[in-house]
A and B are shown apart, each in its own frame.
Chain A
Amino acid sequence: MAVDESGQAFRHPAYGMIEGLTSLPGVDLAFTTADKVLTWGQANALWVFPMATSCCGIEFMATSANRFDSDRIGTIPRATPRHCDVMIIAGTITVKMAPRVKKLWDQMPEPKWAIAMGSCAISGDFYRDIYSVVPGVDTFMPVDVYVPGCPPNPDGLLEGIRRLQEKIRNKRNGAFVEPDKRPIAGLQAPSIPRIGDPDRDPAIDAAQLEAVQQLDPDGGMRRSSAPPAPTRPVRKED
Chain B
Amino acid sequence: MPPLHEPIPPDVLEWCQAELGLETVPAEGPEVPRDRLLAFARALKDQHDFWFFLYCASTHYPEEGSAGEEGHKPDRTLVAYRVRRLPHAASGRPTQTFPFRVWVPTGESTPSLAEVWVGADWQEREQFDLVGTVFAGHPDPRRLMMPEDWPGHPLRRDYAIETGHFPWR
B14-22, B26-34, B87-95, B154-162: which one contacts chain A? B154-162
Answer whether residue A229 sits at the interface, using C-beta atoms and an 8 A cutoff. Answer: yes
Q: How far is the CA of A228 from the CA of B106 in the complex (A)?
A: 9
Q: Is the CB of A132 within 8 A of B168?
A: no
Given contacts A131-B161, A132-B146, A215-B151, contact A226 B107 (CB under 8 A): yes
Contact B106 A211 (CB under 8 A): no
Min C-beta distance of A200 to chain B, whole Å: 10
B159 with A219: CB separation less than 8 A: no
Q: How far is the CB of B135 from chain A (nearest CB, A)?
A: 8
A139 close to B168 (CB less than 8 A)? yes
Q: Is B138 an interface residue (CB 8 A)?
A: yes
Contact A222 B141 (CB under 8 A): yes
Q: Please measure, in the bound complex, the distance between the C-alpha atom of A212 and the C-alpha atom of B159, giving whole angstroms.
A: 9
Q: Please list the residues of chain A having a beta carbon within 8 angstroms of any beta carbon in chain B.
A: 95-96, 98, 129, 131-132, 134-135, 139-140, 193-195, 208-209, 211-212, 215-217, 219-222, 225-233
Could you tell me which B residues sit within 8 Å of A by CB distance? 75, 106-107, 109, 128, 132-135, 138, 141-143, 145-147, 149-154, 157-166, 168-169
Give the residue name and chain of the A residue nearest to B75 (CB): A229
- The answer to whether A227 and B153 have CB atoms under 8 Å apart is yes
In contact, A219 and B149 (Cβ under 8 angstroms): yes
Structural contact, B159 and A232, CB atoms closer than 8 A: yes
Q: How near does chain A come to B88, taking the closest CB pair, in angstroms?
A: 38
Contact of A225 among B107, B133, B159, B165 (CB under 8 A): B107
